[in-house]
């Protein structure tokens, strides 16, 4: 797939994805709004720039793999896949319906193109990534594995077992991305179970640690490039994000972890997304 490098185009795509997320969740009547909106920029950078993939050939053996360990943010994955051309956008509105390929959490057995693994039970994705990365090394394949995690998810012990294994096997073909929004279902991570010093923890587990602003495209692309070029250790990108980013009235509010807008709220949210897009666009034009 042609890689998009123009930050303004990436911005436009990410705000289209945000609008799709709001529309599909409001239609479904349940799901996870906050984390999905917060990850829209990271997903846009990943699928429209970093990833080696072909939406027309979703099972191409040499494709990079994306493991969504935090299955609850399935809407950002579905909207990004549809925007990239994996399937028609109209299917997004079947989210969470019985028989739909778009279940509340991704299901590999639904046959939805672009889904590499089922997920939803937190903490398992890094172990899956480790298995895939070891297999790729044994096959002398140059594919890369990206696993996407939440900060609250890192409280799961299995993550750290997998982190140890990845470092032990020198799996430099893994890039883990952590959505560091500082929030989880019950409130701030610092209050529920503090993760800090997070970067030092990953470093102590033998990883190459890269930080970035998860809403600044040049910074996200720089972080992906550093991970791609690093040899000998797996890399983790700690992406600082804002839960609910793009809808000002719900930004940084953990109450929106698992809430969806009513149809009236959805109209208001779409206006806010439009306004946030214009602000971000003028910021990026001023910084040129």
Ligand X SMILES: Cc1ncc(C[n+]2csc(CCOP(=O)(O)OP(=O)(O)O)c2C)c(N)n1
Residues binding ligand X (CB under 6 A) = 34-35, 70, 72, 120-123, 150-153, 179, 181, 183-185, 243, 257
Nearer to ligand X, 123 or 261 (CB): 123
Residues 195 and 202: their CA atoms lie apart, in Å, by 11
122 binds, among Mg ion, ligand X, none (CB under 5 to 8 A by kind): ligand X
- State the binding string over 156-195 for Mg ion (x if CB under 5 A, else -): -------------------------x-xx-----------
153 binds, among Mg ion, ligand X, none (CB under 5 to 8 A by kind): ligand X
Sign of CA dihedral 101, 103, 107, 113: positive
Min dist CB 176 to ligand X, Å, is 13
Phi, psi of 89 (to 5 degrees): -60, -25
Q: Considering CB distances under 5 to 8 angstroms, the limit depending on partner class, which of Mg ion, ligand X, none binds residue 70?
A: ligand X
Looking at 71, 75, 123, 152, which residue binds Mg ion (CB under 5 A)?
152
Closest alpha carbon to 89 in 99, 100, 78, 98: 78
CB 209 → Mg ion: shortest distance, Å? 18
Crossing angle, helix 125-138 and helix 157-168, to 10 degrees?
Answer: 20
Q: Which residues contact 86 (CB under 8 A, 6 or more apart)?
A: 55, 58, 112, 113, 114
User: CB of residue 36 vs Mg ion: minimum separation in angstroms?
Assistant: 12
**Cα radius of gyration rounded to whole Å, the chain:** 18
**Residue 150 contacts Mg ion per CB under 5 A:** yes
What 8-state DSSP symbol labels residue 178? E
**Cα 79 to Cα 11, 84, 117, 154, 242, distances in angstroms:** 15, 9, 17, 25, 19
Instruction: Spell out where the chain has E strands.
Output: 65-68, 145-150, 174-180, 183-184, 187-188, 208-213, 235-240
- Could you tell me which stretch among 3-11, 18-26, 93-101, 149-157 binds Mg ion (CB under 5 A)? 149-157
Residues 277 and 282: their CA atoms lie apart, in Å, by 9
Complex with Mg ion: residue 49 or 189, whichever CB lies closer: 189
Q: To the nearest whole angstrom, how small is the minimum distance from the Cβ of residue 196 to Mg ion? A: 14
Residue with smaller CB distance to ligand X, 87 or 269: 269
Report, in Å, the least distance between residue 192 CB and ligand X.
9
CB of 122 to Mg ion, least distance (A): 11
User: Closest Cα partner for 80 from 24, 160, 126, 127?
Assistant: 24
Of ligand X, Mg ion, none, which one sits near residue 17, judging by CB under 5 to 8 A according to partner kind?
Answer: none
List contacts with Mg ion (CB under 5 A).
Answer: 150-152, 181, 183-184
């Amino acid at each position: 797939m042609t890689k998009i490098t123009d930050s303004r185009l990436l911005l436009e795509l990410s705000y289209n994805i945000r609008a799709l997320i709001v529309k599909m969740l409001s239609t479904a009547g349940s799901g996870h709004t906050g984390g999905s909106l917060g990850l829209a920029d990271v997903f846009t950078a990943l699928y429209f720039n970093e990833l080696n993939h072909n939406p027309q050939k979703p099972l191409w053996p040499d494709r990079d793999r994306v493991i969504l360990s935090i299955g609850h943010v399935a809407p950002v994955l579905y909207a990004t896949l549809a925007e990239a051309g994996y399937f028609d956008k109209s299917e997004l509105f079947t989210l969470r319906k019985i028989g739909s390929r778009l279940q509340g959490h991704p299901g590999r057995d639904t046959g939805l193109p672009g889904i590499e693994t089922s997920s939803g039970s937190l903490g398992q994705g890094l172990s899956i990534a480790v298995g895939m990365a070891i297999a790729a090394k044994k096959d002398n394949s140059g594919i890369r594995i990206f696993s996407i995690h939440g900060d609250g998810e890192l409280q799961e012990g299995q993550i750290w077992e997998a982190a140890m294994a990845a470092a032990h096997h020198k799996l430099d073909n893994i890039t883990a991305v952590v959505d560091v929004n500082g929030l989880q279902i019950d409130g701030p991570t610092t209050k529920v179970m503090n993760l800090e010093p997070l970067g030092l923890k990953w470093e102590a587990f033998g990883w190459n640690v890269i930080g970035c602003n998860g809403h600044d495209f040049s910074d996200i692309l720089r972080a992906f490039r550093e991970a791609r070029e690093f040899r000998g250790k797996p890399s983790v990108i700690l992406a600082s994000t804002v839960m609910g980013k793009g809808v000002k009235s719900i930004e940084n509010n953990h109450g929106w972890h698992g809430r969806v807008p009513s149809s009236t709220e959805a109209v208001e949210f779409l206006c806010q997304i439009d306004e946030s897009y214009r602000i971000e666009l003028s910021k990026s034009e001023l910084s040129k």
